[in-house]
Structure formats: structure tokens, C-alpha cells
Amino acid sequence: SGSGAADGSKPSTCGTCGGAGRVRAQQGFFAVERTCHACQGMGQVISNPCRTCGGEGRVQRPKTLAVSIPPGVDTGTRIRLSGKGEAGLRGRPAGDLYIFVNVDPHAIFARDGGNLHARIPLPMTVAALGGSIDVPTLEGKMARLTIEAGTQSGRKFRMRGKGMPALRRGNTGDQIIEVQVETPTNLNKKQKELLEAFSNSGNTSPESSSFLERVKRIWADS
């Protein structure tokens, strides 16, 4: 029954404190209250304790609980399960159970507060000519991202409202996409010829040409 007494018996009122669980003691001119040492503050004593629980009214048993995880939790978030902690002594209320969350790393996204970062490969042709690509989102769906012509490797695109939801708040972070321009590999003869013709057609790399011009001026002045 949780009382701690053996079957067929009941706890009796503590004769020391009269069931109050506390006793008064005189210290000089002052009277102070202390926990009753005879019943450990329970107000009752057990003359015939239960052999299973030793008079505590509780036993240890494994139990599996289903925990609801709110959106937006992060590593270190504490979730309180009221009344699911250690059972109280001799039928007293149980304590609370606290769950501390540890979030595993994601295969695609890196979290920075409410924002999510991801690096996405970008075909060279799309980077040069512009177009659109599909990018993954946290919802498990693909979103269409428009790429401007002349996009360089390392450029970041912000997708507002596609990040992490804020814990117990209504706002949502952003998703930051960093594109990595892919260099073509395993080219056939025709593809190589086309790229060579493109390279020889004019000023196709303005940043590289500008950098080389600066280097030449430095050497000329030295």
C-alpha cells in the first residue's frame, strides 16, 4: 500500500511527537522545533515493517517513459516531468524527473542559434550562367534557390524562416546556404575543346586578371 508496514498491519502514531513529525526543544530562553528523531518527521512509526521495502514504502523498478520533445530544443535544454521522479517515502508524493537534452550532429545542417548552415555543391555552368537549384530544408522537403549569373564559390544565400524554431517562442531562424562551385572532372575531348575555346575567348575571369595585374605592378615597382 506504500505505507511501509507489512501486510495485515498499519503504522501507528509516533508517541514522541504525537503525529506532528516535529518536536519542540528548549534552548536557553528560546524554544525551537526540530524533526522528530523517533519517526524521522513522518509522524508515524512502523513496528512491523514490510520485508520487501524495509519499511520505506517504495522499491526500485525500471520504467520506460515517453517524453514529448518540444520544437527548438538544443543541447542542455532541461525538460521537467512532474511526479515522475523518485517515489516519496511511505506514500508521500513523488519528486520530479529532469531530462537533459543532447542533440546529435546533423549530416547536412550545422546549427548556430536559430540559424542553420549548409554547404551545397553548385555546377560550374549554373554558377556562370545562373539558374536555380534544389536545396534540402529542415522539413524534409526540397526548396528552389535562385542562383545569379557569375556566382562565386563561397557565396552565401539566406532563406528566411527556414531555420530552427525558437523554443517556446513563435519565431523561426533562417537557413544559410553556402555554395561550393564544382570543377568539372573526367572531361571528354569535345568538352575540353569547348572549355579551351571559352578560356581563349576573352576576359572570362575578371578577378584573376585583376589580381595578376596588381602582382605585375608590384614587381615593376620593386
Cβ–Cβ under 8 Å, residues 37 and 58: no
Kindly list the structural domains of the chain, giving each domain's residue range(s) and its CATH number in brackets, ordered by start.
1-58 (2.10.230.10), 67-104 (no CATH), 110-202 (2.60.260.20)
Residue 92 has a pLDDT of 83
Contact 9, 47 (CB under 8 A): yes
Give the pLDDT mean for 70-75: 93
Q: In the structure, what pLDDT confidence band is assigned to residue 31 with cuts at 50, 70 and 90? A: confident
Average pLDDT score, the chain: 88
Mean pLDDT of 82-87: 91
Q: For a pLDDT cut of 90, what percent of the chain falls above it?
A: 53
What confidence tier does 74 reach under pLDDT thresholds 50, 70, 90?
A: very high
180 has a pLDDT exceeding 80: yes
> Do 119 and 178 contact (CB within 8 A), yes or no?
yes
Percentages (nearest 5) of helix, strand, coil residues in the chain: 15, 30, 55
More confident of the two residues 39 and 219: 39
Q: Which three cell numbers stand for residue 17?
A: 511527537
pLDDT of amino acid 209: 52
Read off the amino acid at residue 190.
K
- The Cα 53–Cα 89 span in angstroms is 10
The C-alpha cell at 114 is 536559430
Confidence (pLDDT) at 214: 63
Can you tell me the mean pLDDT for 82-111?
91
Model confidence at 165: pLDDT above 90: yes
Q: Residues 125-140: pLDDT tens digits?
A: 999 999 999 999 998 8
User: Cα–Cα distance between 218 and 13 in angstroms, integer?
Assistant: 98
Residue carrying C-alpha cell 501486510: 7
Q: Are strands 30-35 and 22-27 parallel, antiparallel or unpaired?
A: antiparallel
Query: For residue 200, what pLDDT band results from cuts at 50, 70 and 90?
Result: confident
pLDDT confidence band for 4 (50 / 70 / 90): confident
Which whole number is the average pLDDT over 186-210? 78
Q: Stretch 182-207: mean pLDDT, rounded?
A: 82
